[in-house]
Structure formats: C-alpha cells, structure tokens
C-alpha cells in the first residue's frame, strides 16, 4: 500500500508528521495527488467502499498548517477526495479537538476504517503519542471500521447529537 505526502512546508519541520513519514521512507513525497486524497473539506466521507482505491492507487495526505489552511490547497489536487468522520486528535498540539488530526493520525484512521488495523497500529509507533490516538478513539474507530458511507454518516450523526445533548 502506497502512502504519498504533498508538503506545503507550512509547519515546524521538527513537529511535522507528514515530513517524518517521508524521512522514515514510510511515505513518498509527491506534487500530484494519487488515490484517496485526505481532505477535511470534502463532502464525501471515507468508508470501506474506498478500499479498492487504497489498494490500487494508495492514499495522499496533504501536509499543511491547521492555523493557515484554505480549501484552495486541496481543490486542485487530483484524486478521490474524502473527509474522515468525527475523531479526536491525540497529538500534543490539538489534543482532544474533533476533526483536527495530524497527518499521521489521519493516515492511521484511514487504515483502521478500511479494516487494515495491523497497519494502523504499525504506524502508531512512528511517534510516542501514536498509541494515544488509537486508544482515545478506539470505540469510534471500531464503530466505523468496515462500514459503508451511509452507515458511517449515521453513526457520526448519532455521536454528534450525543455530544450536543451533554
Ligand atoms: C492540516 S495537515 C496538518 C499537518 C501537520 N503538519 C502534521 O504534522 O500533522 C493534516 C492533514 O491530514 C489530513 N487530515 C487531518 N484531519 C482530517 C480529517 N478530519 N479529514 C480528512 N483528512 C484529514 C489532511 O490531509 C490534512 O491536510
């Protein structure tokens, strides 16, 4: 399975998880999108229906800064754009914040949802807080795993309603 990173060089290189994946040769740097494009602004939600795309063409993460990003950085990237359903960041910068995942967390979540749990756990060893993300979201990841888009959207809606009722 191929992992690609488009790097906009906007974040501190020492903390950038996309760059770390490339440095460790776990991902390839690219300027062109391939396969599933992880795009938090997409209208389509990632689901098991996307597994064939992952296997055939891989996945592209767009490493930009959450503090300074725009839809334009994603718009021109060719590929199958997908957002992730609600999940909480486990990284020290955005800990506990919904949807604002690091590049590495977004990759782990994708693999988990596409029923590649062993691969997701392998990637969690790349940083010391990698396991925190899996533990924090275990219930949600298990709920989304192997489900189609409609089922995932339904689960996500129920979770959001539950949070709002609190
Ligand atoms: C905004 S960048 C932040 C990168 C940061 N430099 C790092 O080290 O992780 C994170 C990237 O991960 C993917 N991503 C994160 N959260 C996502 C979500 N909720 N849905 C889809 N993709 C997401 C996107 O490709 C996004 O551009």
CA of 26 to the centre of ligand 1 (A): 17
**Where are the strands (E) in 2-92, listed by range?**
3-7, 28-29, 36-38, 59-63, 80-82
What H or E segment, with its residue span, contains residue 21?
Answer: helix 17-23
Q: What is the pLDDT of residue 152?
A: 98
How confident is the model over 109-126, as a mean pLDDT? 97
Residue ranges around ligand 1 (CB below 6 Å): 11, 15-18, 38-40, 61-64, 66, 69, 83-84, 99, 101-103, 106
Q: Is the pLDDT of residue 72 over 90?
A: no
Residue 63 pLDDT more than 90? yes
Q: What ipTM was estimated for this complex?
A: 0.98
What is the 6 CA–ligand 1 centroid distance (Å)?
Answer: 11
For 70, the token pair is: 């725009």
CA-CA-CA-CA torsion sign (72, 75, 78, 80): positive
Q: What's the mean per-residue pLDDT of the chain?
A: 96
| pLDDT band for position 18 (cuts 50, 70, 90) | very high
**Angle, vertex CA 6, rays to CA 14 and CA 80, nearest 5:** 140
């Amino acid at each position: 399975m191929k992992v690609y990173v488009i790097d906009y060089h906007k974040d501190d290189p020492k903390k950038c998880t996309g760059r770390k994946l490339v440095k460790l040769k776990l991902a390839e740097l690219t300027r062109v999108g391939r396969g599933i494009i992880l795009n938090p602004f997409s209208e389509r939600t990632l689901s098991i229906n996307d597994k064939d795309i992952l296997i055939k063409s891989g996945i592209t993460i767009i490493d930009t800064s959450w503090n300074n990003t725009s839809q334009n950085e994603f718009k021109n990237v060719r590929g199958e754009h997908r957002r992730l359903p609600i999940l909480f960041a486990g990284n020290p910068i955005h800990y506990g914040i919904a949807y604002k995942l690091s590049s590495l967390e977004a990759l782990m979540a994708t693999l988990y949802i596409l029923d590649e749990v062993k691969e997701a756990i392998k990637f969690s060893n790349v940083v010391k807080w990698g396991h925190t993300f899996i533990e924090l979201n275990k219930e949600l990841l298990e709920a989304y795993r192997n489900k189609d888009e409609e089922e995932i959207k339904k689960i996500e809606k129920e979770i959001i309603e539950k949070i709002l009722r609190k």
